[in-house]
Amino acid sequence: MAIKIYNTLSRKKEELIPIEAGKVRMYLCGPTVYDYFHIGNARPFILFDVFRRYLKYRELDVKYVVNLTDIDDKIIKKSIEEKIPASDVAKKYTEAFKEDIKKIGIKAADEYPKATENIPEIIKLIEKLIERGMAYSIDGEVYYSVKNFQDYGKLSGKKIDELRSGARVEIDQRKKDPLDFSLWKAAKPGEPCWESPWGKGRPGWHIECSVMSMKYLGESIDIHAGGIDLVFPHHENEIAQSEGATGKPFVKYWMHNGFLNIDGEKMSKSLGNFFTAREIMEKYHPAVIRMFFLLKHYRSPINFSEDRIKEAQQALERIITTLQNISVELDEKKSEIRETEFVLQESIEKIKREFLDEMDDDFNTAGAMAKVFDLVKEANLILRKRSTIDMLVDLPPDTGLSGRLTESELAALLKIKSTIQEIDSFLNILYYGDALKSTIDEDLLVQILIDVRRKLRETKQWALSDEIRDRLGEVGIILKDCSNKTTWQKKVKN
């Protein structure tokens, strides 16, 4: 099945056909580094990381660029509040961004270009727009002339006449048209600035992304991604700038993820429901956050709440626990699995194909995760044959419940495990297993085994009782039986 992507530009799903066969050039609008990124920002960072990994899994050569806006009004405001240079603010939160995305299991982009490192290229593109009659300079400011770009509004669907009469447009008497937007801002006292043909100043927000995407990926790219809130004006203005300068199509496929609400309301500091990803990771493992977003289609709005995140945690724990149970079963039965039994189980292979079909259909992670749970269900149906009683008690032959799995069932478990591990190469959620292991209460676990052993001794099942004692001894847990009580201690290492 071909990979299909919902293209915001055409408003329909389209088959992914890269501009250059076998290669995908992908750009994601990154953070403005003035603070820790919030949980809503985490959604595109996580999801487009998964999609980029999936394209690589499908044997496409992906070049992935995520920009860093390191000069902006918000950064300047934060520098005033913290009484440090704007460059220090940007550096501090750039480092924090990279720390946090690493924790959350996001693979580093191929490039993280910064606006301040591309000032010469920004000036050059603005000069080109002026030369082509797409921009003009007044009093050290440079504006883009929206009326000179005939296709303005093609991404957002907004009409120029309606926008012109709308109240959302910032009023600036120096503009020739109220819709015109800033490419270069004249310097203000105390603000960071750079020399330019129009005087000292700094770049506008929109021009930065046009420059950085074209510099690192070319004048025409395959995929440009970001949150739905960026469609207008940011991405609309990127198109106008880039195509206005080159005369070529800027982006083939525009992808946008839906909004995130907190307990049904828009996230807002004034409402007291504003959370950074760093704060959420203090309460929940980063893999749980990844899981939370994977359980919903990326274009759908998503509601963040304690109940929903706990549901994601439980779902992830179910997968991890099943894999751990499979590992125990396979480890116990290594000698019984023959190489000839490693055959594709049709039901498992069918579920895997359905999983990939869901991913190919506009990266439907919600549908794909449902298929993962189908694999988990298949595994647990097999594992259920080995109940606790089956393992502890020798059942009479006439019950038909030997507690032993066939070679075919063991091979099926192996296939399920390897399939889930394979698809985790792009989901990247299984590293939660290490944290889950670390949360096991060792004291409680040993006490449970001691209690089971006591019951076995009461029913004179000495062999199983001794096996528990011996197996615990192998891992350094020494049991001591004293009259009516059993105590334990860890073996001292030499």
Rg of the chain over all Cα atoms, to the nearest angstrom: 29
- Tell me how many helices (H) and strands (E) the chain has: 17, 15
Q: What is the pLDDT of residues 383-435, one digit of tens each?
A: 887 643 354 444 444 444 445 777 788 888 999 999 999 999 999 999 887 76
Identify residue 124 by its one-letter amino acid code. K
Which range (143-152, 314-323, 380-389, 442-451) has the least confidence? 380-389
Please tell us whether the domain made up of 4-283 is placed in CATH 3.40.50.620: yes
Q: Give the whole-number percent of the chain exceeding pLDDT 90.
A: 69
CA 48 to chain centre: 6
Cα-Cα end-to-end distance for the chain? 59
pLDDT at 442: 66
Q: Is 143 helix (H, G, I), strand (E, B) or coil?
A: strand
Whether residue 240 contacts residue 149, with contact meaning beta carbons closer than 8 Å, is answered with yes
Residue carrying structure tokens 């000495």 = 462
Has residue 493 got a pLDDT over 80?
no
What is the mean pLDDT of the segment spanning 295-319?
96
Q: How confident is the model at residue 482 (pLDDT cuts 50, 70, 90)?
A: confident
Q: Measured between alpha carbons, how far is 347 from 116 in angstroms, rounded to an integer?
A: 54
Whether residue 45 contacts residue 106, with contact meaning beta carbons closer than 8 Å, is answered with yes
pLDDT at 338: 53
Q: How confident is the model at residue 120 (pLDDT cuts 50, 70, 90)?
A: very high
Cβ partners under 8 Å of residue 138, min gap 6:
174
| Residue extents of the structural domains in the chain | 4-283, 305-438, 442-490
CA distances from 486 to 146, 220, 441, 477 (A): 83, 73, 19, 12
Q: Is the dihedral of CA 190, 193, 198, 204 positive or negative?
A: negative
Who wins on pLDDT, 474 or 443? 474
Who wins on pLDDT, 385 or 493? 385
Q: What is the pTM of this model?
A: 0.85
Q: What is the mean pLDDT of the chain?
A: 89
What is the mean pLDDT of the segment spanning 39-61?
98
pLDDT at 341: 45
Q: Measured between alpha carbons, how far is 490 from 468 in angstroms, rounded to an integer?
A: 15
CA 362-223-41 angle, to 5 degrees, is 80
Q: Where are the alpha helices (DSSP H) in 301-402?
A: 306-332, 346-360, 365-383, 388-392
Residue closest to 295 by CA, chosen among 372, 243, 403: 372
pLDDT at 344: 45
Has residue 78 got a pLDDT over 80?
yes
CA distances from 489 to 275, 457, 480 (A): 44, 20, 8
Who wins on pLDDT, 486 or 167? 486
Burial class (CB in 10 A: 0-12, 13-18, 19+), 371: buried
Q: What is the pLDDT of residues 433-459, one digit of tens each?
A: 776 665 555 667 778 888 888 888 888
Residue closest to 302 by CA, chosen among 52, 39, 24: 39
Residue closest to 154 by CA, chosen among 66, 32, 242, 257: 242
Has residue 475 got a pLDDT over 50?
yes
Q: What is the pLDDT of residues 279-297, one digit of tens each?
A: 999 999 999 999 999 999 9
Whether residue 43 contacts residue 260, with contact meaning beta carbons closer than 8 Å, is answered with yes
Who wins on pLDDT, 466 or 62? 62
Q: What is the pLDDT of residues 177-218, one digit of tens each?
A: 989 999 999 999 999 999 999 999 999 999 999 999 999 999
Q: How confident is the model at residue 348 (pLDDT cuts 50, 70, 90)?
A: very high
Q: Where are the alpha helices (DSSP H) in 168-252?
A: 205-217, 236-246
